[in-house]
Amino acid sequence: MEEKELFEKLKSAVVEGNDKEIKKLSQLAIDNGVDAYRALINGCAKGMDVVSDKYEKKEMFVPEILLSARAMYAALDVLMPHLKAEESKNTGTVMIGVVEGDIHDIGKNIVSLLLKVGGFEVVDLGKNVPLKTFVEKAKETKPDIIGLSALMTTSMMGMPEVIGMMKDAGIRDQVKILIGGAPISQKFADQIGADGYAPTGPSAIKAAEKLIGGN
């Protein structure tokens, strides 16, 4: 099987939530000497991009997303031992969490993992994180970037509050804010004064590198 075809099958298995098939495909990738990181980014993560897009268009719902996430994790069980952090000149620390009022952490977990694989140190605060905790932990860990995630339109409104609280604490200029999640857009990021927006896992790595690199 050609690499391109294998990536496409991995992508489809994630979208279909087929965890048994994706395990076989992931092992096939390893057995054929395919780079695990490329299989993850060009196959599995692309599938999650499709899932996110379908969710936004109301073509997929939470139960289906959970199946896709389960398939993603099944692939990771096989690929993880073979992943090597990519060399990056723009390494740094990213503190990430799902804002208060939101327990949907699938996207955040995947972004967190991809950032680690991409060479970043990640401080994962988990889900339903109280807004003040982002500020308190930022003072404590001094991250280069704070990643705010939300899957609900109600919880996303906590993002500008976090930014405001950071200004009040006098640390807003010491850290970059990167936001993402199904209801988030570049327009919203601009409106609330975030430094970056990442619609997908792979794009979060690129956005983080850009923010830390200052370009």
In sequence order, what are the residues at sequence separation of 6 or more whose Cβ sits closer than 8 angstroms to the Cβ of residue 209? 88, 90, 118
How far is 139 from 28, CA to CA, in rounded Å?
45
Tokens representing residue 166 in the block: 């950071």
Question: What residues act catalytically?
Answer: 102, 104, 155
User: What's the pLDDT score for residue 206?
Assistant: 85
Angle between helices 45-56 and 106-117 (to 10 degrees): 150
pLDDT at 117 over 90: no
User: Which tens digit of pLDDT belongs to each residue from 2-50?
Assistant: 999 999 999 999 999 999 999 999 999 999 999 998 998 899 988 988 8
Q: Give the rounded distance of the alpha carbon of 157 from its chain centre.
A: 19
Contact criterion met (CB below 8 Å) for 135 and 109 = no
Contact criterion met (CB below 8 Å) for 197 and 179 = yes
User: Which tens digit of pLDDT belongs to each residue from 124-171?
Assistant: 999 999 999 999 999 999 999 999 999 888 999 999 999 999 999 999
Q: What angle do CA 33, 37, 42 make, to 5 degrees?
A: 100
DSSP 3-state assignment of 1?
coil
How far is 169 from 56, CA to CA, in rounded Å?
34
- Eight-state DSSP code of residue 41: I
User: What's the pLDDT score for residue 106?
Assistant: 79
Name the band, by pLDDT with cuts 50, 70 and 90, for residue 215.
very low
User: Which tens digit of pLDDT belongs to each residue from 54-94?
Assistant: 877 889 887 898 899 899 989 989 998 887 655 455 579 99
Residue type, 46: K
At the top level of CATH, which class does the domain 93-213 belong to? alpha beta
Equal CATH topology for 3-82 and 93-213: no
Annotated domain spans of the chain: 3-82, 93-213
CATH number (1.10.1240.10, 3.40.50.720, 1.10.3720.10, 3.40.50.970) of 3-82 reads 1.10.1240.10
